[in-house]
A and B are shown apart, each in its own frame.
Chain A
Amino acid sequence: MSETPEVRPPVVTPARVIIAVCLVAPFVAMLWVGSYAKTDPAFIGIPFFYWYQMLWVLISTALTMLAYQLWKRDQRAREDANGGAVK
């Protein structure tokens, strides 16, 4: 997906795998409707179907934030290693 010029750090690193997982997880969770299409357990009277999806707003936010932080660190590390403009 993201092309990196000929620099030493490999394209696929553990940090990047985690970033990808963070970004893909919401898709798996939300598109698998069967996993949450039920009313119980309810939370303060709100059926599971609704509060679970709203909870995922928070979860996916946390995951995107994590991805963002990892990405920033990844970029900085690469810049330091390379001394120039990297991806």
Chain B
Amino acid sequence: MKDGVNGVALGVFIFFFLAVTVMGFLAARWRKAENEQSLDEWGLGGRSFGTWVTWFLLGGDLYTAYTFVAVPAAIYAAGAAGFFAVPYTILVYPLIFTFLPRLWSVSHRHGYVTTSDFVRGRFGSKGLSLAVAVTGILATMPYIALQLVGIQAVLDVMGVGGGENTNWFVKDLPLLIAFGVLAAYTYSSGLRAPALIAFVKDALIYIVIAVAIIYIPIKLGGFDDVFAKAGDAFAQVNPATGKPRGALVPAEAGQWTYATLALGSALALFMYPHSITATLSSRSREVIRRNTTILPLYSLMLGLLALLGFMAIAAGVKVTNGQLAIPQLFEDMFPDWFAGVAFAAIGIGALVPAAIMSIAAANLFTRNIYKDFIKPDATAAEETRVSKIVSLLVKVGALVFVLTMDKTVAINFQLLGGIWILQTFPALVGGLFTRWFHRWALLAGWAVGMVYGTVAAYGVASPTQKHFGGSAKEIPGIGEIGYIGLTAFVINVVVTVVLTFVLKALKAPEGLDETRPEDYTADAGDPGVQAELPSATAGAGH
């Protein structure tokens, strides 16, 4: 960061980056289907992925570079409170076990590409579907931007692109190149590119974590020492707030926050368009259920990774920007070449989700805004073309966001995005199990949740920020500090239920439901469920 370019690490980083670039472009030929010009192909990889590809894809998608940087950074900054990411990812899997297979089935029966497609089909409401689509796009954009922040952190520590005094073009050039390459292969290969690159990303990440979790504690004198030093550091009183910096265990007052953050985030994760895109690309409903039993491996990795935050403290890493704590730890602890591998893991870890997120946002725009409102008679080829172009625009937007605005803006918006996306839960998951909710009630509940969440988040101050200083606030009526997103979600549900009673009493039009109960349990091979698209290279099966 301060001591010039780390040549060896940079060399290794560039090597891996080039390797995945080649893979990204070649991915277009991987398990290629005859009908390329359809959104199922470009945007869902032909809906053909088996258990392992889906596992890598979802893992690469959900556990992003930003996660790897931000979770240990949160631990580094405040201790126990940052560890909520672990219970959060524990809770995700039993949760999705119950509803994702139903979404998969109904989507395959009716050719749905996005969650908004389903909501429109189920409730016969373009308005509700638009609300879900816009929320998804809004929540995804800052998430993509944060992937760039992750790459930037790595580049900074390697000594390229850092420094406040270099001119902006030199400073941002590496990021621009990385992004240009990403945009190009996503455009040409669609979802196949991140699916293939995810293998490299996850292999690298697992190697790095395995080494880090053994090698670094040994160098630092064991976990006893690591936690003793971290405990001392957290006990020190921060002069700005007059409170200790953090704690090794959440205090009584912080436990509500911890639990609500874990629960709210778990509910929100599979509302994100990129999670759904990766899910719908799988070959059968069994693939999804099986994946809920093997995906937790990533949670274990995340937990170990979080512990790196303590190691950064014990190793005496001092950074003003917490995001740099882990890359700096790697640079300080590892030999140069292995630091390069670690940086490559984070860098590639950003490319995979960024690609999937931009595809997901593009699909939402194409299906639920362009086709529903602008050009209803668009052909499959047109849809694919629009989606490809939008995926580019989304990425350029994220890039501009990161380059022109302060990083905290991206983080604030990502925080808001989490609160927002959770508000689509009643329409989506509610809709998967029951048609009882009224579409207008769902729309009203969504709106109330969005407004409450945004206003509440705006009002949270922290020592460094006047607004958007955190994601927790006093829960009205309970008095404990809890996750704003979850509070907004509860309000949302209450409004939805009450208005549903009212609207049903008033006999408001229900809208047409194009799905039937048996659609929710259909599996590959059942009549009406489109099987894998005809393969151009027969026999390349999984």
Contact = CB atoms under 8 A, between A and B. Distances in A.
Interface string A12-33: 0000000000111011001111
Interface string A46-67: 1101100110111011011101
B306 to A, nearest CB: 8
B293 A23 contact: no
A30 to B, nearest CB: 4
Given A30-B91, A31-B262, A1 B98 contact: yes
A1 B433 contact: yes
A34 interface: yes
Contacts of A54: 86, 300, 303-304
A23 B289 contact: no
B222 A45 contact: yes
B94 interface: yes
A5 interface: yes
Contact of B293 (A2, A47, A56, A68): A68
A31 B292 CA distance: 20
Given A60-B93, A67-B97, A44 B223 contact: yes
B303 A57 contact: yes
A73 interface: no
A87 interface: yes
Contacts of B164: none
A45 B98 contact: no
B252 to A, nearest CB: 8
Given A23-B94, A30-B90, A64-B93, A45 B296 contact: no
A78 to B, nearest CB: 11
A39 interface: yes
B96 to A, nearest CB: 10
Contacts of A46: 223, 227, 307
B156 to A, nearest CB: 29
Interface centre among B94, B259, B303 (most CB of A within 10 A): B94
B292 A49 contact: no
Interface centre among B83, B294, B296 (most CB of A within 10 A): B296
B86 A49 contact: no
Contacts of A67: 94, 97
Interface residues of B, number: 47
Interface in B282-296: 289-290, 292-294, 296
B227 A45 contact: yes
B263 interface: yes
A53 B87 contact: yes
A85 B521 contact: yes
A5 B87 CA distance: 36
A84 B500 CA distance: 35
Interface in B198-247: 222-227
Nearest to B259: A31
A75 B143 CA distance: 39
B289 A53 contact: no
B289 to A, nearest CB: 5
A47 B224 CA distance: 9
A39 B166 CA distance: 46
Interface in B63-92: 80, 83, 86-87, 89-91
A84 to B, nearest CB: 10
Given A30-B90, A45-B222, A53-B90, A37 B250 contact: yes
B521 A37 contact: no
Contacts of A58: 296, 300
A33 B261 CA distance: 12
A39 B248 contact: yes
15 contacts: A1-B98, A39-B248, A42-B224, A42-B227, A45-B227, A46-B227, A46-B307, A49-B249, A50-B83, A50-B306, A57-B86, A57-B303, A58-B300, A68-B289, A68-B293
Given A26-B94, A61-B296, 19 more contacts: A23-B98, A26-B91, A31-B263, A33-B256, A33-B259, A37-B80, A38-B249, A42-B227, A45-B227, A46-B223, A50-B83, A53-B86, A57-B300, A60-B90, A61-B297, A64-B93, A64-B296, A67-B97, A85-B522
